Each structure stands twice: as structure tokens, then as C-alpha cells.
Amino acid sequence: MKLAIIGAGYVGLVTAACFAEMGNEVICVDADAEKIKGLEQGRIPIYEPGLEDYVKRNHEENRLMFTTNLAEAVKRSLILFIAVGTPQDRDGSADLSAVLAVAREIGRYMNGYKVVVEKSTVPVGTAVKVRQAITAELQARGVDYEFDVVSNPEFLKEGTAIDDFMKPDRIVVGCDDVRVAELMKELYAPFVRTHHPIIVMDVVSAEMTKYAANAFLATKISFINEMANICALTGADIAMVRQGIGSDPRIGHLFLFPGLGYGGSCFPKDMQALIHTAKSRGYIPRVLEAAEAVNRDQRRLFVERVRAYFNHDLQGRVLAVWGLAFKPGTDDMREAPSVTVIAELAEQGARFQAYDPRAMEEARKVLGCNRAVSFASSCYEALDGADALLIHTEWTIFREPDFDRMKTLMKQPVIFDGRNLYNPAKLAKLGFHYFYVGQKVEGQVLTPDP
């Protein structure tokens, strides 16, 4: 099929590359001329395992093209995917200005029947606004081309997005016309040969499904963090509790890891957008608001534990940092716990030697203006002369480090583990002061903000 993917960001690039991999003719459009120039030269603006190979191969074989010319892409394509950003607005709602701007452009350049697909994460009711924007432009032109608007939310995980797209658990299609549903099924048929479902529903339900999925997973993360905090007060072992409840197939182990909470470009933004959607209709989403409150507190409690260990005097203390990205497998720094923790401890006078195996370039953009932060070339270099180590991201290279070497490098063998990577008994035998999420610390009671 002939497809246009409008927006060469994270979702747009993955979508374009994977559709091209299946033999479709794909035009990827973006208003950023420098980004398009880089993509044509094989430079990928984000890190995602496998994406660079997919982009280069399909571009070289002329199945994937890049352009800033939206008009040409609209005219040449049957199915138009809108994959532009929907950042959080001041009131917590999703900013739809880019989505609706693209919809108006589509209306200006349509030359026949088109299927317009919402791939961006958008709140309930956006399809109606997209239809209205396109219709207004067609009326201004004095033409009456037929078109359909479809909701087709993405369920990609950063770090495994290629696999998620190529081997999806499910594909959700929201539309109001049987013919369009069959067209979308044909497009996605190569991706579901293992019989994972293509679920067709109405547009509003499809828009809601994306938010509901992310809200549930975010709430699950906050739930296990709440349990960890209660374990810290009672002396229960959160690792054993997790194993005990995760073995129940109704609960499962996924997204049930205590830590510093969720971050990234999706969960925080989508939770706020869903809360705003509910409140704008007169409903108070108490569970969602509680999950957000717990998530905010996880970082504060971590900071308080570090401050308490140093008797609230961090002036001149050097803290090594392992992990800056919000999760492993990506260089995404958006809403990363490391940013919050570093900022709050820097205000207390701490200095940082930070390392991340993938996010150093992005981290310099976010943290480079903070004079308290320096960047190390390796995880061990970050430890040199450090008073303590803070672990923010559970990269695999941090799971089995040389602990003896660590002790020789550090001023003090102290670890604050925000991802619970290590065995506490083993670290104690090795002579480390080891603090983890859910640990009971005598004489120290950690309570959330009222």
C-alpha cells in the first residue's frame, strides 16, 4: 500500500520503518528539514534497538522515503498516519495543535479518497475534531472528497519498539465503516500471522483504549511502590512480596518492580491527560490521582533517604550516578527520575559524576547547564572518589559489576539503589552500606507528602 507517516519522531519513525519492512511504499514527512536531511543520510535522531538497520535498509531499497513536502505525500498516498507530538498543556490536557494543523494541511492537499489515521496518542473526541478540520478546508476549497478518520493507537515500549510493532500482542482499530476496517486489516495482516487479534471497535473506544492501557500500567507501578513503602515500615521483604503476588496469573510479574516510579514520554503525560478528560466531564478519577501522587513521592523519598544518611549535609559530597535515561534500552530523558533526584540534591550542595551507556548526549542537553554535574566515560570512572553511588536506571551492565573494584574507587562503599538490582545480604558481606526501595532503616521513617 501507499502510506504517508506524518511526523518523524519516535512513533512515526518506527511506524514508517516497520511498514516499509513489510513491502509497503512509505513516505515519512516532517517539518524539520535538518532531521529529514539527516535521515536521508542515515542519521537516526533517537536510539532504539534495530531501528537504524530498518531505516537504512528500506531507504536504500526505495520503500522508505523522507521529505518535508507534506502536499506531495498527501497526494501520493492512500492512508495518512498522523504521528506528531501531543505534549502536555499547562492544565494537564493533551496539546492537539500539531495534530489539528496536520489535519488542516491534509484538507488543503487531498486529491481524492483518503484514510486519515490517528497514530498519535490523543484524547477521546479528537477524531471528531480532525474530521471537522479537514472538512472545513475542503469546504474552503469548494471540493467534496470522501475520507474516513480512524483511531489506531500504538502500544510500543521504548527499547523494544521494533519487536512490539512487528509482533504485536494486539492491534486496535477504531472506525465507523466496515470497508475501512477491512482495509486496515489488510494493511496489518502480515503482522498478525501468529493469530494475535486485530480488534475493531468504534473510534471513541479506540482512543480510550490507549489511555486506559497506559493508566493501568502506571497504576500497577505505583501500587508496587506503595507496597514497598509499607514493607519499609513493617519489615516485610518487598522482593518476596512481589514474588508472592506476581505468581498469581491474575496479577503477573510485569510492571511489578519497585523503584523510582514511571517516567518517559507516555505514562506521565497520558495520566495527566486522562485525569483532565475525567475532570472536564465532572468526574474525579481518585485512583489515577493517587497513582500520580505515589509516583511523585517515590523520587522525594529516595532523595530524603540520601539526605538522611549524610545527616542532611551534602555540601561538597560527590555522588556517582549510574543511569540517566528513564528506562534501559533508550536514550529518552523525558520525565526521567534522575533529573529530579539530581536537581534536588544539587540544591543541597552535592556534586555528581554521571554515566549512562546510551543517554549521555541527551543527558548533556538536559543536565549540561547544571555545574554540579560532570559526565564520566564509564561506570567505573563515575565512581572515582565518590561518597556514594545512586542507581537510577536498571541497565544490564550495572547488574553484575566488579564490587571489589568499586570499593577501591569509592571514598565510601555506599549504594542507594533506586532499582533494587542487588542482593542485600551479598552487599553486606562485601562491606557495602546498601539502601534499596522498600528497605526498613532503623530510626528513619519515610512518609509521603500529605
Residue 251 in grid coordinates = 496479577
CA distance to 98, 105, 129, 139, 392, per residue, from 136 (Å): 17, 11, 11, 5, 48
CA distance to 14, 33, 51, 264, per residue, from 160 (Å): 11, 28, 10, 14
Catalytic residue among 175, 266, 369, 379: 266
Q: What amino acid is encoded at 416 in this protein? A: F
- In sequence order, what E strands does 126-219 have? 147-151, 171-174, 198-201
Q: Which residues are within 8 A (CB) of 179 and not within 5 positions of it... i.e. 6 or more apart?
A: none
Burial group, residue 155, by CB count within 10 angstroms (0-12, 13-18, 19+): middle
Give the whole-angstrom CA distance, residue 243 versus residue 239.
6
Planar angle of CA 119, 125, 129, nearest 5 degrees: 80
Planar angle of CA 74, 76, 77, nearest 5 degrees: 70
CB 260 within 8 A of CB 419: yes
CB 44 within 8 A of CB 55: yes
CB 386 within 8 A of CB 345: no
Told to judge if 266 belongs to the known catalytic residues of this protein, a careful annotator would answer: yes
Q: Which residues are within 8 A (CB) of 100 and not within 5 positions of it... i.e. 6 or more apart?
A: 129, 130, 133
CB atoms within 10 A of CB 290: 14
Locus of grid cell 532523595? 303
Active-site residues, by number, are 266
